[in-house]
Amino acid sequence: MLERWFGVNASAIVQVWRRNALVWRKLAAASLMANVIDPVMALMAFGLGVGSLVNTVEGQPYLQYLAVGAVCISAMNAPTFEALYSAFSRMQVQKTWQSIMNTPVRLREVVLGECFWAAAKGCISTACMMVVLALLGVGDGLFWLVGWCLLALACVMYAALGLCVNARAPSYDFFMFYFTLFITPQTFLSGAFFPRRQFPEWLQWLAQCLPLSLVVDCMRALHDHRFSAMPALLLGMLVYTGLGMWGAVQLSERRFAKVS
């Protein structure tokens, strides 16, 4: 069905995903430490440190407010690193993509397999973060379960956006532009650390359009049981995800067409 509707073979995508998973197993412990311990340490440092100076934010303890934002940041960072540095290594340095394409697997299936693999690593990281939130008493069962599904979509979105940049990168150094101009601003403008209403109006409007802002707002709406606010935010995430996956495939095919 996917072959007929979208021109891709689902089995080939799964095999690319599986190949990356088998390789990752050898480094799983170190990878999980980097993806989980760093955001947890940041959460505890800011939550307990700044939380001791700030009583409440939007009617809730700062640690609780920050925890929802921190898990969203984790859903952005983990798949982004995988879709940039690891994917670039397989594509450009190790020539793994070219080796895979010597089989019946096509480039678009390699790209989508990489996208879902990067998203899977993000899902593992966010799952661990959700366990930490549960131990801290943040949220309820509905928030932990549905929230993790929302974060899974966010992981796919950021994996796809990262692969768009990967397709244009001439070297590893190119990724610093992406982090400096796109990832880092989202960290501070999305409302993860503090409400966006403190910004000037023009900056509030700009920040509201950022992908991470959609994720943060959707997770906060779920946490506060404001379910009516969620459909529009979900639609925005789906649009970014669809455009990112389409762009990743198109830009990667253009890159390889120039090489050949």
Q: Please state the rounded mean pLDDT for residues 96-108.
A: 93
Query: What tokens appear for 31 in the block?
Result: 């990878």
Q: Report pTM.
A: 0.92
- Parent domain of 166: 2-259
| pLDDT of res. 166 | 97
* % of the chain with per-residue pLDDT over 70: 94
Quick check: 158 and 245 in contact, CB under 8 A? no
| pLDDT of res. 167 | 96
| pLDDT of res. 146 | 94
User: Per-residue pLDDT for 131 more than 60?
Assistant: yes
Q: Residue 153 CB: number of other CB atoms within 10 A?
A: 19
Alpha helices by DSSP H, listed for 25-106, are 28-49, 62-81, 87-88, 96-100
| pLDDT of res. 232 | 95
| pLDDT of res. 98 | 94
| pLDDT of res. 120 | 95
Paired strand residues for 60 = 57
Q: Which of 44-48, 175-179, 245-249 has the lowest mean pLDDT?
A: 44-48
> In this predicted model, what pLDDT tens digit does every residue of 132-168 receive, in sequence order?
888 888 888 899 999 999 999 999 999 999 999 999 9
Query: What tokens appear for 168 in the block?
Result: 């244009």
Q: Please state the rounded mean pLDDT for residues 80-102.
A: 94
**Alpha carbon separation from 96 to 20, 93, 102, 107, 128 (Å, rounded):** 10, 8, 10, 11, 30
Length of the chain: 260
Residue 15 makes CB contacts below 8 A (sequence gap 6+) with: 105, 113
| pLDDT of res. 137 | 85
- The number of domains in the chain is 1
| pLDDT of res. 2 | 52
Quick check: 148 and 216 in contact, CB under 8 A? no
Q: Please state the rounded mean pLDDT for residues 241-255.
A: 95
5: pLDDT confidence band, cut at 50, 70 and 90? low
> In this predicted model, what pLDDT tens digit does every residue of 39-86 receive, in sequence order?
777 777 776 777 667 778 888 888 888 889 999 999 999 999 999 999
| pLDDT of res. 205 | 93
> In this predicted model, what pLDDT tens digit does every residue of 189-219 receive, in sequence order?
998 888 988 889 999 999 999 999 999 999 9
Q: Left, alpha or beta for 107 (phi > 0: left; psi -120 to 50: alpha)?
A: alpha
